[in-house]
Amino acid sequence: MTITVAVDAMGGDVGLKVTVPASIRFLQDTPHVHLILVGDEVAIQEELVRLRAPQERIRVQAASEVVGMDEAPQSALKNKKDSSMRVAINLVKEGQAQAAVSAGNTGALMATARFVLKTIPGIDRPAIAKLMPNMKGLSCVLDLGANVDSSPEQLLQFGIMGAELVSCVLGKTNPTVGLLNIGSEDIKGNETAKQAAELFKESELNFHGNVEGNDIYKGTVDVIVTDGFTGNVALKASEGLAKMIATFLREEFTRSWWTRLCALAAMPVLNRFRERADTRRYNGASLLGLRGIVVKSHGGADVTGFRFALAQAYEEASSNVIGNIADRVADQLQNLKRPESSSTE
Amino acid sequence: MTITVAVDAMGGDVGLKVTVPASIRFLQDTPHVHLILVGDEVAIQEELVRLRAPQERIRVQAASEVVGMDEAPQSALKNKKDSSMRVAINLVKEGQAQAAVSAGNTGALMATARFVLKTIPGIDRPAIAKLMPNMKGLSCVLDLGANVDSSPEQLLQFGIMGAELVSCVLGKTNPTVGLLNIGSEDIKGNETAKQAAELFKESELNFHGNVEGNDIYKGTVDVIVTDGFTGNVALKASEGLAKMIATFLREEFTRSWWTRLCALAAMPVLNRFRERADTRRYNGASLLGLRGIVVKSHGGADVTGFRFALAQAYEEASSNVIGNIADRVADQLQNLKRPESSSTE
């Protein structure tokens, strides 16, 4: 099957100068993919010529507007009907593309994607999911900020979606699912978390039980489910800490000519470490629960980072994540017995 | 003023073999402090003799029971009235000690401390607060898990307590306070966070506004306020990530004889980095809001870590954190105008 990815070429802190070169590199690496670059046609064409892009498997789709990085989602939805973001999502809706990727404003992207694509039947609200590195490999964490409050039923839907993402993209059968909480015991946590645990137990998911913040990086489970408020704070705190540690390490190695010499000696090792801990490799969060694939790149992503977001979209499209989620939701939600009152006491 | 610190000598994953040597070292470093080691009298005395502890400024107080690390808080409260943890807190209540330190079970410590010491008038519930490192220095983050749900009013109380802790222990006047949220705009976040922001604005705190997860490590503000669920997840996710990065770094430097040689060359720098990033230096979370100082050490803390928890307790006692919180709460809560209904819409 040919996969076509629609790229919001204007989105992100940098825009064209990142999205176009990343698209070209991705095209060169990935034999069968087709790309549609959406945005300012003249500027994109200029950039393609400048970079001597191949003529095949890539085309430009004009869009006259750009959603601002700080623009209110509702304003983007109402007033920017010809934005590069919206046109890219329209291409998915129309079946011209199997996935859209944008480094633009998260809130506007979510609002637009939800409005244009609608949610999968049985899914109340989409969630933002990300494959994050841990000691053993990768795990899917969701929701990372699409929803500030989530009901136990919504958390269960997140669990189902995350499990399908892991099954499809990482090829794991029957992945384990954990519910993020402040203690591994059943009695811990707030009411929503407790009720959600009951629902998870009765579902067909491979439910591991409650997990704690450190389990994200321990690799205790394949899927970690939480509400968007907690998930967003955990993700951003992690980003902040990683940056601080990198800064400390750099500061120590550049303190004097002597420490610079040490750094030089250790360079091959430091480079391998840097590569391994490179957050750009994990760029690309999925807006799960929509009737189409939409991947959000970090707004500040560089060429390497944006290329990984394109790859994430491609993987999801090739492995038919949406179809699998839809089937699983239909199955599991139909079969799901609601908890008897006695079992929640 | 002489400060006496009561030490739950039996608490923690290891117990005596950590708490007693840490206490002796702390005593040697800190000229005027007195310590009361609480627990199994014979075993503590043996350990003191074995370590050739000084005879002065240290005494043992017998307690016949130990609270298990997994024991339910209510069970500890009801059934272990002569536990080392409880007797240490009793010493604070009776004025024989100005602070208590325990590496025991957090839930039991909180329940016992609350029961024995009671909260400061105007404080509904205590919070767990920690001084955490950031790019610029230290900031106080609370609540880290004492409460799973917090009302806007309780979040404000946390803000007041955190600001006093920073003022007293770090000597900062009028510290800045931020409310942890998923976006810096006022409109973001759940209802509690929005209402809390209104209360903070009307308070006498130096309110910076909303902050995000990465601001914890950026050092954007001196005090970061959040509910215990979110705070606990953020703290534990950070601990997990720090461990993962350290593991990656170690793995890369021990991969072969060649990389070990690189590590040897870089050793002085790596050691400085390790020292700087050493989480043991930040061990010791404060149970704020009680009518007495109680510091919780990480259960797995080693001698160095536990010594830092003792130092934290000592700093709080010498700078009269409790008295200052009580005064500030009385002032601010009296002066606080409740938000008009119009302002919260």
What pLDDT sits at residue B260? 85
Q: Nearest by CB to A237, from B213, B247, B268: name it.
A: B213
Q: Backbone phi, then psi, for B86, in 5-degree steps?
A: -70, -40
Residue B203, token pair as written in the block: 């308070």
Cis preceding-peptide flag for A143 (omega within 30 of 0): yes
What pLDDT sits at residue B290? 97
Q: Are the beta carbons of B288 and B319 closer than 8 angstroms?
A: no
Strand pairing category for A285-288 and A127-133? antiparallel
d(CA A58, CA B133): 48
What pLDDT sits at residue A18? 97
CA B343 to chain A, closest CA, distance in angstroms equals 21
Lowest average pLDDT, out of B22-36, B171-185, B255-269, goes to: B255-269
Pick from A167, A138, A159: nearest CA to A284: A138
CA B218 to chain A, closest CA, distance in angstroms equals 7
Mean pLDDT of B134-146: 94
* Interchain CB distance below 8 Å, B273 and A249: yes
Q: At what angle do helices B228-253 and A257-276 cross, to 10 degrees?
A: 110
Residue B118, pLDDT > 80, answer yes
d(CA A88, CA A11): 11
The interface predicted TM-score (ipTM) is 0.89
The tens digit of pLDDT for each residue in A168-183 reads 999 999 999 999 998 7
Q: Are the beta carbons of A88 and A123 closer than 8 angstroms?
A: no
What pLDDT sits at residue A280? 87
The domains of chain B, with CATH numbers, are 1-123+289-331 (3.40.718.10), 127-252 (3.40.718.10)
**Residue B274 identity:** R
**Predicted confidence band of residue A255 (pLDDT cuts 50, 70, 90):** confident
Q: Nearest by CB to A265, from B234, B242, B265: name it.
A: B265
* Interchain CB distance below 8 Å, B239 and A277: no
What residue in B sits closest to A216 (Cα-Cα)?
Answer: B237
Question: What residues form DSSP beta bridges with A142?
Answer: A129, A225
What is each CA distance from B184 to A61, A316, B208, B227, B260, in whole angstroms?
34, 32, 10, 17, 45
What pLDDT sits at residue B273? 84
* CA torsion angle A153 A157 A163 A164 (round to 10): 160
Q: Nearest by CB to B134, from A244, A249, A277: name it.
A: A244
Q: Nearest by CB to B269, from A218, A262, A272: name it.
A: A262
d(CA B120, CA A176): 44
**Residue A117 identity:** L
* CA torsion angle A148 A186 A196 A112 (round to 10): 30
CA A61 to chain B, closest CA, distance in angstroms equals 32
The tens digit of pLDDT for each residue in B16-42 reads 999 999 999 999 999 989 999 999 999
Question: What residues form DSSP beta bridges with A286?
Answer: A129, A295
Q: Nearest by CB to A229, from B189, B253, B266: name it.
A: B189
What pLDDT sits at residue B185? 59
Task: Give B165's contacts (C-beta < 8 A, 6+ positions apart).
Answer: B129, B131, B140, B223, B286, B288, B316, B321, B325
B138 in A contact zone (CB under 8 Å): no
What pLDDT sits at residue B339? 47
**Predicted confidence band of residue B187 (pLDDT cuts 50, 70, 90):** low
Question: What residues form DSSP beta bridges with A210?
Answer: A179
**Predicted confidence band of residue B177 (pLDDT cuts 50, 70, 90):** very high
**Predicted confidence band of residue A187 (pLDDT cuts 50, 70, 90):** low
Element (H, E) at A176: strand A176-180
Q: At what angle do helices A257-276 and B257-276 cross, to 10 degrees?
A: 100
Lowest average pLDDT, out of A114-118, A193-197, A313-317, goes to: A193-197
Element (H, E) at A114: helix A106-117
Question: What residues form DSSP beta bridges with B131?
Answer: B140
**Residue B8 identity:** D
Residue B145, token pair as written in the block: 């898990």
Query: What is the sign of the dihedral through the CA atoms of A193, B228, A240 and A216?
Result: negative
Residue B322, token pair as written in the block: 């409790």
What pLDDT sits at residue B184? 58
Q: Are the beta carbons of A47 and A17 closer than 8 angstroms?
A: yes
B75 in A contact zone (CB under 8 Å): no
CA B70 to chain A, closest CA, distance in angstroms equals 10
Residue A111, token pair as written in the block: 């609002």
**Residue B219 identity:** G
* Interchain CB distance below 8 Å, B145 and A180: no
Task: Identify from B220, B244, B271 which residue to disrupt to test chain A contact, counting A C-beta atoms within 10 A and taking the largest count.
Answer: B244
Pick from A278, A282, A305: nearest CA to A130: A282
Counting Cα atoms < 13 Å in the Cβ hemisphere of A280 gives: 12
HEC string of chain B equals CCCEEEEECCCCCCCHHHHHHHHHHHHHHCCCCEEEEEECHHHHHHHHHHCCCCCCCEEEEECCECCCCCCCHHHHHHHCCCEHHHHHHHHHHCCCCCEEEECCCHHHHHHHHHHHHCECCCCCCCEEEEEEECCCCEEEEECCCCCCCCCHHHHHHHHHHHHHHHHHHHCCCCCEEEEECCCCCCCCCCHHHHHHHHHHHHCCCEEEEEECCCHHHHCCCCEEECCHHHHHHHHHHHHHHHHHHHHHHHHHHCCCHHHHHHHHHHHHHHHHHHHHCCHHHHCCEEEECECCEEEECCCCCCHHHHHHHHHHHHHHHHCCHHHHHHHHHHHHHHHCCCCCHHHHC
Q: Nearest by CB to A233, from B191, B213, B244: name it.
A: B213
* Interchain CB distance below 8 Å, A243 and B214: yes
Mean pLDDT of B198-209: 93
Mean pLDDT of A117-133: 95
* Interchain CB distance below 8 Å, A234 and B239: no
Residue A231, pLDDT > 90, answer yes
Burial degree of B125 (CB within 10 A; 0-12, 13-18, 19+): middle
d(CA A274, CA B148): 37
pLDDT > 70 in chain A, percent: 95
**Predicted confidence band of residue B341 (pLDDT cuts 50, 70, 90):** very low
Residue B97 backbone zone (phi > 0: left; psi -120 to 50: alpha; other: beta)? beta
From chain B, pick out residues whose CB is under 8 angstroms from the CB of A238: 213, 237-238, 241
A266 in B contact zone (CB under 8 Å): yes
More confident position, B264 or B198: B198
Residue B337, pLDDT > 60, answer no
A228 in B contact zone (CB under 8 Å): yes
What pLDDT sits at residue A185? 59
Lowest average pLDDT, out of A21-35, A270-284, B1-15, B107-121, goes to: A270-284
CA B49 to chain A, closest CA, distance in angstroms equals 39
Mean pLDDT of A191-196: 89
A137 in B contact zone (CB under 8 Å): no
DSSP string, A189-216: S-HHHHHHHHHHHHSSSEEEEEE-TTHH
Residue A245, token pair as written in the block: 């540690």
What pLDDT sits at residue A39? 97
Q: Backbone phi, then psi, for A100, in 5-degree steps?
A: -125, 145
What pLDDT sits at residue A131? 95
Q: In what order do the strands lie in the sheet with B223-225?
A: B58-62, B34-39, B4-8, B99-102, B293-296, B285-288, B127-133, B138-142, B223-225, B176-180, B206-211
Residue A314, token pair as written in the block: 């491609």
What pLDDT sits at residue B179? 96
B137 in A contact zone (CB under 8 Å): no
d(CA B88, CA B300): 20
Residue A345, pLDDT > 60, answer no
Q: Are the beta carbons of A135 and B247 closer than 8 angstroms?
A: yes
Mean pLDDT of A251-263: 84
More confident position, B175 or A280: B175
* Interchain CB distance below 8 Å, B265 and A269: no
Task: Identify from B216, B217, B239, B249 which residue to disrupt to test chain A contact, counting A C-beta atoms within 10 A and taking the largest count.
Answer: B217
Pick from A26, A20, A11, A22: nearest CA to A45: A20
Lowest average pLDDT, out of A200-214, A308-322, B261-275, B311-325, goes to: B261-275
Element (H, E) at A223: strand A223-225
B190 in A contact zone (CB under 8 Å): yes
d(CA B325, CA B317): 12
| 3-state class (DSSP) for residue A127 | strand
